[in-house]
Amino acid sequence: MTVLPYGVEQRRGIPMRRLLAHRELAVALILAITVIAVSIINHDFLSLGNFRDILIKVAPSAIVGCGLTFVILTGEIDISVGSLMGFLAVLLGLLTSPDYAHLPVSLSILIVLAAGTFIGFINGLLITFGRVPSIIMTLGMLTALRGATKVLIRVYANDRWIGNLPDTLRFLGTGSILGVPVSVLTALIILILCALAAAYTPLGRRIYAVGSNTHAATLAGLSPNRIKLFAFTLTGFLTAIATMVSVPQLSVIDSDIGVGFELLVVTAVVVGGTSISGGKGTILGTLLGVILLGTVRTVLTFLKLGTDATYWERAIQGGFILLAVLADQLAKRDRSEDE
């Protein structure tokens, strides 16, 4: 299956520059080096169980990463996904828990999916037809949703946390089908669907077109606003899905779920080669970016840094995103010098 014909550029020149242009290859290489190096230091790292753990951990970022890849491809950004996940998690808990609303799980899932989709739609609507810059719009949404989450917890859960989730919901987080965890399976299906959509559907082509040259897209009779609106709505929907398969893994739901999640996903997408200015990138790249960041997190745990691990993880994440954007700019400069 060719998932990466786009954004792959045929460039001559020194290998380093070529590597910069073939981001998927570069990320895969860094990933391989990391895994090999850590395996040599600690033989336990290369176990099937550990591999499975990493996949479970990265599944939610992979799911949301698909939506965010489309958003960034159109030249926009969405930093509200972490807060949205937190909000939806508390909503899901309140709806399903026998201590609170105790609605049927299926109905609760529908409500959470609708809520996520609706918030994504509102983001998109105000950004496109309301002309609010996406960074400002989603920054506002990030703050508003985090506040709303705290209010929900305070009013309904007496400022504590929600435990006691029904087993059917637990299954989404911890169960497996044919030995594959539900969350990993879900992520896989969504990744494949999105990769197919990106490469093989008119919609996918139009997302690239809008990000590549909005003016030309309009002249070609496309509606950039509608395409962007779709990308934001999809991201809201996928965030709801990611909430559903990850939150039930936790023993309790509090108001801090998803803090920093948006940075993790944006970093993964950009590290995976999606250009922050739009028009270039692949779902495969995003998957590799997500796995790389997930592996780094596990590696840090293996290095037994204790609480320092979290700080190191942030530092490395920040370093990655700067490197990725720098590599992008270098590749771009390389190109303009050629012309």
Partner 1 sequence: MSSDPLVQIRNISKSFGGVHALSGVSFPIQKAEIHALCGENGAGKSTLIKILSGSVTPDTGEILIGGQPLTTGAVRASEQAGIAVIHQESVAFPHLSAFDNIFVGREPKRFGKFFLDRPRMRRETRALLERLGESFDPRKPLADLTVAQRQMVGIARALSQDCRLLIMDEPTASLSSRETQVLFRIIRQLQSDGVSILYVSHRLDEVFELSQNVTIFRDGKHVSTTPTNQLTTETLIKQMVGRDLLEADSSFSDSASGALSTPPLLQVRNLTRLGTFENISLDVHAGEIVGLSGLVGAGRSELARAIFGADAYDGGSILVKGSPLPPHSIHAAIEAGLALVPEDRQHLGLVLPMSVGANLSMTVLHSLTSAGMTSGRKEAPIVRQLMADLQVKAASPKVAANTLSGGNQQKLVLGKWLATKPRILILDEPTRGVDVGAKAEFHRLIRNLAAQGVAVLVISSDLPEILALSHRILVMRQGQLAGELPRERATQESILSLAIPGGAAA
Tell me the C-alpha distance between 171 and 297, whole Å: 25
Q: Does 39 bind partner 1 (CB under 8 A)?
A: no
Virtual torsion, Cα 251, 267, 198, 33, nearest 10 deg: -90
Tell me the C-alpha distance between 151 and 217, whole Å: 43
Contact 68/120 with Cβ under 8 angstroms? no
By C-beta, is 208 or 237 nearer to partner 1?
208
Q: Does 221 bind partner 1 (CB under 8 A)?
A: yes
By C-beta, is 95 or 227 nearer to partner 1?
227
Strand 176-177 vs strand 180-181: parallel, antiparallel, or unpaired?
antiparallel
Stretch that binds partner 1, among 6-14, 114-122, 155-163, 286-294 (CB under 8 A): 6-14
Q: Does 304 bind partner 1 (CB under 8 A)?
A: no
Cite the DSSP H helix spans in 74-212.
81-96, 105-128, 134-156, 167-174, 182-200, 202-212
Tell me the C-alpha distance between 57 and 242, whole Å: 11
Nearest distance, CB of residue 66 and partner 1, angstroms:
17
| Per-residue b or e along 125-146, where b marks 16 or more CB atoms closer than 10 Å to that residue's CB | bbbbeeeeebeebbbebbeebb
Q: At what angle do helices 48-73 and 261-271 cross, to 10 degrees?
A: 80
Q: Does 9 bind partner 1 (CB under 8 A)?
A: yes
Q: Does 193 bind partner 1 (CB under 8 A)?
A: no
| Per-residue b or e along 30-43, where b marks 16 or more CB atoms closer than 10 Å to that residue's CB | bbeebbeebeeeee
Nearest distance, CB of residue 267 and partner 1, angstroms:
22
Q: Does 75 bind partner 1 (CB under 8 A)?
A: no
Q: Among 42, 47, 143, 218, indicate the residue that binds partner 1 (CB under 8 A).
A: 218
Q: Does 312 bind partner 1 (CB under 8 A)?
A: no
Nearest distance, CB of residue 225 and partner 1, angstroms:
15
By C-beta, is 68 or 198 nearer to partner 1?
198
Binding-site string for partner 1 from residue 97 to residue 116, where x marks contact by CB under 8 A and - marks none: --------------------
Q: Does 285 bind partner 1 (CB under 8 A)?
A: no
Contact 62/286 with Cβ under 8 angstroms? yes
By C-beta, is 228 or 280 nearer to partner 1?
280
Stretch that binds partner 1, among 4-12, 49-57, 76-84, 233-241 (CB under 8 A): 4-12
Q: Among 36, 189, 220, 323, indicate the residue that binds partner 1 (CB under 8 A).
A: 220
Q: Does 192 bind partner 1 (CB under 8 A)?
A: no
Tell me the C-alpha distance between 135 and 131, whole Å: 11
How many of the chain's residues bind partner 1 (CB under 8 A)? 29
By C-beta, is 128 or 282 nearer to partner 1?
282
Q: Does 311 bind partner 1 (CB under 8 A)?
A: no
Angle (CA) 79 272 34, round 5°? 115
**Contacts of residue 327, Cβ cutoff 8 Å, sequence gap at least 6:** 20, 23, 26
Q: Among 39, 50, 174, 212, indicate the residue that binds partner 1 (CB under 8 A).
A: 212
Q: Which residues bind partner 1 (CB under 8 A)?
A: 5-7, 9-10, 200-206, 208-209, 211-213, 215-222, 275, 279-280, 335
